Chains A and B, each alone.
Chain A
Amino acid sequence: MFEARLVQSAILKKVLDAIKDLLTEATFECSDSGIQVQAMDNAHVSLVSLNLRSDGFDKYRCDRNLSMGMSIACMSKILRCAGSEDTVTLRAVDNPENITFIFESPNKEKLAEYEMKLINMDQEHLGIPETSYSCVVKMPSQEFSRICRDLSQFGESITFACSKEGIKFSASGDYGQATVKLAQTADADNEEEAVVVNMQEPVKLTFSCRYLNCFIKAGPLCAQVQLSMSNDVPLVCEYKIGDIGHIRYYLAPKIDDDEEN
């Protein structure tokens, strides 16, 4: 028996919005410690790692470890049926073929149940090595979203260049070049709006706009985004999900073709 209850269905809605562009289906690993999702997009360029801790739920019960393959599109549709104030409960039996979504209105007058068929999926769990990144940048997620959207109009990829002064985003394309520089905030009195650069050594990486624009869909989950970068390793773009977990996006960098040859 698996049951997870979340008073704020809005959180789950936002999580689904954040991953539905990248993933078509994903395996939800449910264990005593919580729910974990790890899935790559079809091109194997980006990876979504979602972690929802059990203590973050209002009620959490997981008798046996379950891995449930779910269609993200379908799940997103179901969650769209929930009111933002509703309470959501996920329920499944031990050897499940279906998962049930139960939406309760705050005044308990409305109860909606949605049952979704599970899909069999190959296990494809990647071992992500623990890395100490050369640069860790924290910045307002809104700002990051804005930059990604703006620069993606100029080119298909954005170069992140991080130095002591701050972080520089740049894109160039047929129309010209665009550069946005963010300096480290001097006095961090407002934590949410601060730009914090934690740099061991300068990095310069290029990433595809297409994926970045998918990542920023997670912006509503958290006011701050954390970008972890090292040269020639994937970018980690992390959003906290309230106090129940986090969503991490890994994005493989674009590398110079000449270098490779």
Chain B
Amino acid sequence: MFKRRDVTASCLILAKIICRKKTRLNMIMESLHEYLETVAGYIFDDDKLVTYKWLSKELEVHVNIAKQILWEFWQKYKEKKQFECVFLLMGHLHDDGMRVEIVKEKNLSTAKEKYSKIISKHVYSLQKTLPETQLLMLAEDGDVKFSGIKCIENNERNDEEIHMFRWGTASREIESASREQVQSSVSEAASERKATSPEGKQVAKKKNADRKGFDNLFGKAINKQKNPSASSNADKVEVDSFNHKKETSKNVSAEKKKNTQKGGLSNFLELGKNQTKTPADSLNKGKSANSSDKECANSFDAEKGANSLTKEATEEKVSKTGFKQIQNMRSKKRNRSKETNNAVKKRKRIAIQSDSSNSEPSDNENESELDLPLSPESSPAFLKDRSVSPPQVKHENGKRKVLKIVDKTFEEDGFLVTKKVHVYESCSEEEPEIIEPKNEKKIVSESHSEVKGKKNTKQTTLMNFFKK
């Protein structure tokens, strides 16, 4: 009797649980429908570029949920309605390079051919029409609150910047780079300090710190890029791969992750060979005093093992625990990935000594366009004047000169005439490039004032002398 009652009681409890689960499922489905409707509104009514990051911020959901929503939406409506879908692809290329790119749906199959293995593929954005994928840059960034990754130092670069990076750099930039290094090293140290304190309260802070540390990578990438010597594209790929690995890590299964790890490793080994040593580089590395140089390889292997382990563990936990915990794990994971980054640095250093032959893959050209390093915020001059097209360039006496339109003022028949003149100006340095025209004007105006100071003459008319 007692037993039966017990059984019935347990049955009741079970039924309740099932019921609750069902309702929860219903709720989820309902909210999904709601979300899909909202997304439809964004796309078709508001004509928005709905990227997963933007959506996560807008709906205040995790980025991965946002991705899922977009995927559902695409699955549901791709036959019925007219809209464009952009995918993000990440994977290994046939030449052992890594590549992250966004492609339109129609180009997806051709894009996929480039990869030997695709690590991640997810919907990047949905929109009514998209003439240029670059337009997606206009879409708002995600919010870190929802695990959207944003790099503070990530600036869109204009043509001039790209030009600069492609054709060599100015001394000033190197200066700014070194400044960045100092900054980055400081922030790195800070992040390290914070990483050591295991308090859960500091999770949020840690996150920030981590991000800083992560951002340092970008700073370093820039430094490397800035060296006028053949800067390897591989670097950028590497950095990007890190960036995106994190971004999409949740999409990918643990197994896949291991692959990534391996691929990443082989990648770095390859890249290390390509690496050209530069003072800025070595300085940077010197500052990242996380580990000894001697046992880099060993420590790296160990780290790698630890990494994969922890990652697996976190993955498991993620499946079990709730959203908040995911965030906690994330922050830890970030710590890990930072460590791997450090390891990577060490790795590179060894490789530098071994070989310096530069074997760039065939589609590096493409890659460099996509994966240019992030522009430092310390180049406001660039951001101010965005040129539509890169200026015409000629080389003279080893100095690069750029064709510019300059306002020139001169006196002509007693009138001050200002004309736009095409002038080749040396732009070996950024500073004079901006100041020069001003100087010229100054000189002109000075000479004018001089002339006037000498003989401040005024033309009289004959009417003063002759009468009608």
Min CB distance, B417 to chain A, in Å?
Answer: 12
Contact call B460/A124, Cβ cutoff below 8 A: no
Contact call B456/A210, Cβ cutoff below 8 A: no
Contact residues in A for B464 (Cβ distance below 8 Å)? 252
Determine which of A43, A128, A172 lies in contact with B451 in the assembled complex, contact meaning CB atoms within 8 Å.
A172
Contact call A128/B461, Cβ cutoff below 8 A: no
Q: Which segment of A44-52, A79-87, A139-147, A189-197 sits at the interface? A: A44-52
From 22 to 44 in chain A, residues with beta carbon under 8 angstroms from any chain B beta carbon are 40, 43-44
Contact call B460/A126, Cβ cutoff below 8 A: no
From 435 to 468 in chain B, residues with beta carbon under 8 angstroms from any chain A beta carbon are 444, 447, 451, 454-468
Contact call B451/A255, Cβ cutoff below 8 A: no
Contact call B461/A252, Cβ cutoff below 8 A: yes
Contact call B462/A234, Cβ cutoff below 8 A: yes
Contact call B414/A129, Cβ cutoff below 8 A: no
Contact residues in A for B414 (Cβ distance below 8 Å)? 156, 208, 210
Contact residues in A for B468 (Cβ distance below 8 Å)? 124-127
Contact call A256/B459, Cβ cutoff below 8 A: no
Contact residues in A for B454 (Cβ distance below 8 Å)? 172
Contact call B456/A44, Cβ cutoff below 8 A: no
Contact call A206/B455, Cβ cutoff below 8 A: yes
Name A159's closest neighbour in chain B (CB-CB): B455
Contact call B461/A43, Cβ cutoff below 8 A: yes
Known: A127-B467, A208-B414, A210-B413. A47 touches B462 (CB 8 A): yes
CA distance A159 to B457 in the complex (A): 11
A254 at the interface (CB under 8 A from B): yes
B411 at the interface (CB under 8 A from A): yes
Min CB distance, B412 to chain A, in Å?
Answer: 8
From 61 to 79 in chain B, residues with beta carbon under 8 angstroms from any chain A beta carbon are none
CA distance A208 to B455 in the complex (A): 13
A253 at the interface (CB under 8 A from B): yes
User: B interface, how many residues as a size bin?
Assistant: 20 to 34
Contact residues in B for A257 (Cβ distance below 8 Å)? 456-458
Contact call B455/A45, Cβ cutoff below 8 A: no
Min CB distance, A19 to chain B, in Å?
Answer: 16
CA distance A233 to B463 in the complex (A): 11
Count chain A residues whose beta carbon lies closer than 8 angstroms to a beta carbon of B.
33
CA distance A233 to B460 in the complex (A): 10
Contact call B458/A254, Cβ cutoff below 8 A: yes
CA distance A155 to B455 in the complex (A): 12
Contact call B459/A252, Cβ cutoff below 8 A: yes
Contact residues in B for A172 (Cβ distance below 8 Å)? 451, 454-455
Min CB distance, A250 to chain B, in Å?
Answer: 6
A174 at the interface (CB under 8 A from B): yes
Contact residues in A for B463 (Cβ distance below 8 Å)? 44
From 236 to 284 in chain B, residues with beta carbon under 8 angstroms from any chain A beta carbon are none
Contact call A255/B458, Cβ cutoff below 8 A: yes
Contact residues in A for B461 (Cβ distance below 8 Å)? 43-45, 252
Contact residues in B for A253 (Cβ distance below 8 Å)? 460
Determine which of A45, A125, A128 lies in contact with B459 in the assembled complex, contact meaning CB atoms within 8 Å.
A45
A157 at the interface (CB under 8 A from B): yes
Name A258's closest neighbour in chain B (CB-CB): B456
Known: A156-B413, A208-B414. A255 touches B457 (CB 8 A): yes
Determine which of B411, B456, B458, B466 lies in contact with A128 in the assembled complex, contact meaning CB atoms within 8 Å.
B466
Determine which of A124, A174, A208 lies in contact with B447 in the assembled complex, contact meaning CB atoms within 8 Å.
A174
CA distance A1 to B459 in the complex (A): 43
From 103 to 157 in chain A, residues with beta carbon under 8 angstroms from any chain B beta carbon are 124-129, 155-157
CA distance A234 to B460 in the complex (A): 9
Contact call B457/A252, Cβ cutoff below 8 A: no
A242 at the interface (CB under 8 A from B): no
Contact residues in A for B456 (Cβ distance below 8 Å)? 256-258
Known: A156-B413, A174-B447, A208-B414. A126 touches B466 (CB 8 A): yes
Name B467's closest neighbour in chain A (CB-CB): A127
Contact call A127/B460, Cβ cutoff below 8 A: no
Contact residues in B for A206 (Cβ distance below 8 Å)? 455, 457
Min CB distance, A122 to chain B, in Å?
Answer: 11
CA distance A203 to B465 in the complex (A): 17
**Pairs across A and B, CB under 8 Å, 22 listed:** A43-B459, A44-B463, A45-B460, A47-B466, A126-B467, A126-B468, A128-B466, A155-B451, A156-B414, A157-B457, A159-B455, A172-B454, A206-B457, A208-B459, A210-B414, A233-B465, A250-B466, A252-B465, A254-B457, A256-B456, A256-B458, A257-B457
**Beyond A126-B468, A174-B447, A252-B465: 12 further Cβ-contacts under 8 Å?**
A40-B462, A44-B461, A44-B462, A47-B462, A126-B466, A129-B466, A206-B455, A255-B457, A257-B456, A257-B457, A257-B458, A258-B456
**What 8 A-B pairs have minimum CB-CB distances, sorted nearest first?**
A254-B457, A257-B456, A126-B466, A44-B461, A252-B460, A257-B458, A174-B447, A252-B462
Residues of A whose CB lies within 8 Å of any CB of B are 40, 43-47, 124-129, 155-157, 159, 172-174, 206, 208, 210, 233-234, 250, 252-258, 260
Residues of B whose CB lies within 8 Å of any CB of A are 411, 413-414, 444, 447, 451, 454-468
